[in-house]
Copies of this chain bind each other. A is one copy, B any other.
Amino acid sequence: MALMAGLRVPARALLRSGCWLRGAALAGAEAAAGLGAGVRRFGSQRVLVEPDPAAGVAVVKLKSPPVNSLSLELLTELVISLEKLDNDKTFRGIVLTSDLCGVFSAGLDLTELCGRSPAHYAEYWRALQELWLRLYLSGLVSVAAVNGASPAGGCLLCLSCDYRVLADSPSCVIGPNETRLGIVAPFWFKDCMVNTVGHRAAEQALQLGTLFPPAEALRVGLVDQVVPEDQVQSTALAAMARWLAIPDHARQLTKSMMRKPTADRLAKHREADVQSFVSFVSRDSIQKALQTYLEKLKQKG
């Protein structure tokens, strides 16, 4: 499909490149306790997919305790789930949410970026690029039901969706807080920020590493709606209905017109971006900063 033209690395290549999917639950389906008769969950160990074929919608739930850090495994399973849904004509939209309490996604898994080999960093970054390109350009309507904190890479996931509903709770902060950890968001995250909140607000938030509480996130345009925590999913589904009222082909062409130039900036220079990341994260100073941060987290936790 035209919308996918930017994507060069199919999910199976990610698998081949060494990411082992524990449980091999990909093709399987499990009975879903608490769902109506005939509704079945599928997905993988860390990504639950709750399909509603009648509505043409699947709810995709991140479930990688304790905080949905984007490990290589979670990235890969998410890419595979999205690829599957993108290619299944039953589905026209997805709601992306968290199965955990209080956190949507904590962003990049820093243990993947600390004390590993350059080859590992490269593999990890390719998987992150892949996830972003797939989600940002997906032909499916994507609504983020942000039911928990969503810093850094978690924020990136949200911004890559078509619409964002955030839970109105003080813990549900969202934003690009990379600089606070001494690291830097990639240019394509920056582009997403600029496209969503404009150049000035992006510049300030990215430099200051701002985590926005719900009211501020709404005011700056980082999310589209803020609702009580127990209405996040129903509000996301109501938004989905508005998007599904539009004929897919016209909506998809329009989405591509809006997003392809941004995605192409990465798609055309993926390897350079990988090399730039690997060389940045391999620096002694960055490794030390990450190590210090991880040790602090351990002491806390």
Binding site for B on A (CB under 8 A): 162-163, 178-185, 187, 190, 194-200, 202-204, 206-209, 221, 224, 242-243, 246-247, 249-251, 253-255, 257-259, 285, 289
CA–CA, A255 to B209, complex, Å? 12
B184 near A257 with CB under 8 A, answer yes
- List the 8 closest A-B pairs by CB distance, nearest first: A179-B250, A195-B199, A203-B258, A184-B253, A182-B247, A179-B246, A207-B254, A206-B254
Contact (A180, B258) CB under 8 Å given A195-B203, A251-B207: no
How far, in Å, is A187 (CB) from chain B's closest CB? 6
Residue of B183, B200, B242 touching A221 (CB-CB under 8 A): B200
B194 near A250 with CB under 8 A, answer no
CA–CA, A204 to B196, complex, Å? 11
B185 near A195 with CB under 8 A, answer no
CA–CA, A236 to B151, complex, Å? 27
22 contacts between A and B (CB under 8 A): A162-B204, A179-B246, A179-B250, A179-B251, A182-B249, A182-B250, A184-B253, A184-B254, A190-B254, A190-B258, A194-B199, A195-B200, A198-B198, A198-B199, A199-B258, A203-B255, A206-B257, A206-B258, A207-B246, A207-B255, A208-B246, A209-B250
Contacts of A199 in B (CB 8 A): 194-196, 198, 258
User: Residue on B with the closest CB to A224?
Assistant: B204
B178 near A208 with CB under 8 A, answer no
CA–CA, A196 to B199, complex, Å? 7
User: Residue on B with the closest CB to A197?
Assistant: B200
User: Residue on B with the closest CB to A196?
Assistant: B200
User: Residue on B with the closest CB to A206?
Assistant: B254
A sample of 11 more A-B contacts (CB under 8 A), given A163-B204, A199-B258, A207-B255, is: A162-B207, A178-B250, A179-B247, A181-B250, A182-B249, A190-B254, A190-B258, A198-B199, A206-B254, A206-B257, A207-B258
